[in-house]
């Protein structure tokens, strides 16, 4: 849990706009005829919150609603849970709905679309933009764990880490035991089909980022004939093991940090005169925090929180300057900015409470995987990480899935969308969190995938500001023109 390499949070950036042509996706023929025929009782949004936990006023045309889903899809007539939805109504000639998942697992689609919706204004002309809190997240039976997140994040020593992981798992079972067996990606994919029907679409048009690519791929595997225009950006390869995932992501973050350091030095960097010195400076800062945490008001910037703070700006090139400024301030004894970066990663609000992002993430990851690494296996993986990118190494971390109260399974690792419309998979060469190699791997597993490559930096391509990527994706989503497999967009 403490290891950031195990997470797939969406890297924030800005959007702007090479395209390709091809045959329209099957959904294109009927899309223009779609009307708002859904069954959701939409109403004004009343509980939107920003990353700081403060209320957010909904933009014009934004509505919220709920639908019901079976707690257990194997028992459709049994107990139900509410799934929270949000939509921004199309501003022009409506094609239908475009459903988003922004990653995580564990990110709130309701809050994210409310904040980020303006970045998709071009698509909003033709589509109702729709997102949701997946099961186990926030308003949709969100996983709660008795206030244990602080303890887990602050546990440093080996005994503390394992004890904190065990207590965390026990608290999750006590507070959310009913939902824990049912928060997996296969269950969420079945919810997606309920959402498709509820918004009145014959086929699901979908834009998934990071973990959202996994959810989309699982949906396409289970409902290939219901796939409309699908884009998966920042692809995840579900077949990798925990160890493989950790090592690959460590390599990705190492490369991202190196790119950051070179860019920082090119612009007169406060952290060092050359990239090697920049990295050494940050490593030294973190090492000192192991024994001398920085006081920030009534809190402390610890080693593990600083680790999260350092990797957070690496998700997008646009946020690299934040890392330089925050680290430079911490070197002078002010840890405020680094602590704020860590809080943005963990979902900690100004009042000290947390969103469910960290608890939901753990619950979904553990259910989606039958692996239960031992302490010895975790230590072995950490040793490999330390050699690749020491900033990510976590000495003595507890492996929460080893204590998890419900078993996992590998059903969500099976990907095969044979029979679906073309699915556009976008991979970024400099992506630290979902490294590029996962994009061609997922494309191959889908059988119907079309690979688009962005030769730039950052986690995800569409929100990078690259005009070629945006035009390629928008042309497909709006006009149904499938890009050529192998389309490449320069940085």
Which span out of 13-27, 271-285, 347-361 was modeled with the highest average pLDDT?
A: 271-285
Q: Cα-flanking dihedrals φ and ψ of residue 368, to 5°?
A: -80, 0
Of 306, 379, 369, nearest to 338 (Cα)?
306
Residue 32 pLDDT = 39
Residue 314 pLDDT = 96
Q: What is the CATH number of the domain that holds 214?
A: 3.40.50.1820
Is residue 351 in some structural domain? no
**Are both 267 and 331 inside the same structural domain?**
yes
- Computed over every residue of the chain, the mean pLDDT equals 89
pTM as predicted = 0.90
Q: Tokens representing 45? A: 């949004």
Work out the angle between the directed axes of helices 320-331 and 303-311 (0-180°, nearest 10).
150
Is residue 8 in some structural domain? no
**Are both 164 and 236 inside the same structural domain?**
no
pLDDT digits (tens, 9 = 90+) for 205-237: 999 999 999 999 999 999 999 999 999 999 999
Is the model's pLDDT at 154 over the cut of 80? no
Is residue 366 in some structural domain? no
Contact 382, 125 (CB under 8 A): no
**Are both 235 and 250 inside the same structural domain?**
no
Residue 151 pLDDT = 80
DSSP string, 3-66: -GGG-BPPPP----------PPPTTHHHHTT--S------EE----B-TTS-B-PPPTTEEEEE
Residue 449 pLDDT = 98
**Span 136-155, mean pLDDT?**
88
**Are both 127 and 236 inside the same structural domain?**
yes
Which of the four pLDDT bands, split at 50, 70 and 90, describes residue 15?
A: very low
Is residue 134 in some structural domain? yes
**Are both 103 and 197 inside the same structural domain?**
yes
Q: Is 207 helix (H, G, I), strand (E, B) or coil?
A: strand
**Are both 96 and 154 inside the same structural domain?**
no
**Span 395-409, mean pLDDT?**
78
**How far apart (Å, rounded) are the C-alpha atoms in residues 17 and 472?**
9
Work out the angle between the directed axes of helices 320-331 and 242-266 (0-180°, nearest 10).
80
Which span out of 140-149, 372-381, 412-421 was modeled with the highest average pLDDT?
A: 412-421
Is the model's pLDDT at 28 over the cut of 60? no
Is the model's pLDDT at 16 over the cut of 70? no
Environment class of residue 429 by beta-carbon count within 10 Å: exposed (0-12), middle (13-18) or buried (19+)? middle
Residue 379 pLDDT = 85
Residue 165 pLDDT = 85
201: left (phi over 0), alpha (psi -120 to 50) or beta: beta
**Are both 301 and 219 inside the same structural domain?**
no
**Are both 462 and 387 inside the same structural domain?**
no
pLDDT digits (tens, 9 = 90+) for 408-443: 999 999 999 999 999 999 999 999 999 999 999 999
Q: Domain range spanning residue 159?
A: 148-178+371-403
**Are both 199 and 257 inside the same structural domain?**
no
**Are both 231 and 274 inside the same structural domain?**
no
**Are both 137 and 199 inside the same structural domain?**
yes
**How far apart (Å, rounded) are the C-alpha atoms in residues 453 and 174?**
45
Is the model's pLDDT at 203 over the cut of 60? yes
Is residue 68 in some structural domain? yes
Which of the four pLDDT bands, split at 50, 70 and 90, describes residue 395?
A: low
Catalogue the active-site residues.
210, 431, 459
Domain count for the chain, please give it: 3
Which residue reads 């095969």 in tokens?
Answer: 416
Is residue 277 in some structural domain? yes
Is residue 213 in some structural domain? yes
Is residue 457 in some structural domain? yes
pLDDT digits (tens, 9 = 90+) for 38-85: 799 999 999 998 877 888 888 888 999 999 999 999 999 999 999 999
**Are both 380 and 307 inside the same structural domain?**
no
pLDDT digits (tens, 9 = 90+) for 450-475: 999 999 999 999 999 899 999 999 99
Contact 449, 425 (CB under 8 A): yes
- Lowest pLDDT segment from 18-22, 179-183, 361-365: 18-22
Q: Which residues partner with 209 through β-bridges?
A: 233
Q: Which residues partner with 232 through β-bridges?
A: 208, 425
Which of the four pLDDT bands, split at 50, 70 and 90, describes residue 4?
A: very low
């Amino acid at each position: 849990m403490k290891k950031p390499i195990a997470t797939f949070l969406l890297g924030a950036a800005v959007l702007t706009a090479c395209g390709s042509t091809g045959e329209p996706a099957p959904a294109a023929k009927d899309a223009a005829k779609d009307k708002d025929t859904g069954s959701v009782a939409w109403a004004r949004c009343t509980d939107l919150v920003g990353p700081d936990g403060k209320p957010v006023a909904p933009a014009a045309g934004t509505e919220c609603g709920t639908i019901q889903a079976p707690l257990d899809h194997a028992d459709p007539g049994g107990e139900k849970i509410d799934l929270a939805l949000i939509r921004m109504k199309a501003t022009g000639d409506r094609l239908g709905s475009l459903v988003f998942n922004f990653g995580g697992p564990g990110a709130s689609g309701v809050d994210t679309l409310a904040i980020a919706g303006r970045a998709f204004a071009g698509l909003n002309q033709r589509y109702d933009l729709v997102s949701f809190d997946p099961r186990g997240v926030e308003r949709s039976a969100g996983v709660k764990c008795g206030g244990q997140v602080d303890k887990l994040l602050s546990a440093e020593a080996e005994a503390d880490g394992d004890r904190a992981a065990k207590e965390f798992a026990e608290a999750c079972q006590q507070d959310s035991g009913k939902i824990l067996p049912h928060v997996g990606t296969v269950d969420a994919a079945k919810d997606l089909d309920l959402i498709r029907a509820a918004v009145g679409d014959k086929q699901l048009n979908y834009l998934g980022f990071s973990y959202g690519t996994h959810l989309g791929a699982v949906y396409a595997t289970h409902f290939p004939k219901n796939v409309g225009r699908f884009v998966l950006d920042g692809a995840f390869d579900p077949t990798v093991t925990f160890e493989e995932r950790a090592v690959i992501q460590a390599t990705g973050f190492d490369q991202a940090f190196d790119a950051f350091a070179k860019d920082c030095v090119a612009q007169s960097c406060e952290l060092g005169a050359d990239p090697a010195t920049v990295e050494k400076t940050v490593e030294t800062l973190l090492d000192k925090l192991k024994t001398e945490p920085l006081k920030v008001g009534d809190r402390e910037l610890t080693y593990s929180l600083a680790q999260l703070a350092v990797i957070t700006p690496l998700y997008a090139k646009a946020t690299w300057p934040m890392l330089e400024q925050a680290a430079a301030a911490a070197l002078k004894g002010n840890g405020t900015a680094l602590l704020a970066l860590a809080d943005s990663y963990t979902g900690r609000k100004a009042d000290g409470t947390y969103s469910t992002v960290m608890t939901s993430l753990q619950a979904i990851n553990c259910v989606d995987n039958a692996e239960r690494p031992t302490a010895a296996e975790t230590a072995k993986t950490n040793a490999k990480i330390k050699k690749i990118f020491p900033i990510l190494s976590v000495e003595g971390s507890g492996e929460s899935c080893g204590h998890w109260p419900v078993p996992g399974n590998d059903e969500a690792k099976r990907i095969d969308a044979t029979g679906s419309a073309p699915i556009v998979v976008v991979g970024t060469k400099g992506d630290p969190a979902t490294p590029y190699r996962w994009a061609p791997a997922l494309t191959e597993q889908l059988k119907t995938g079309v690979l688009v490559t962005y030769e730039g930096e950052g986690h995800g391509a569409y929100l990078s500001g690259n005009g070629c990527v945006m035009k390629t994706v928008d042309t497909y989503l709006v006009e149904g023109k499938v890009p050529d497999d192998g389309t490449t967009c320069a940085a």
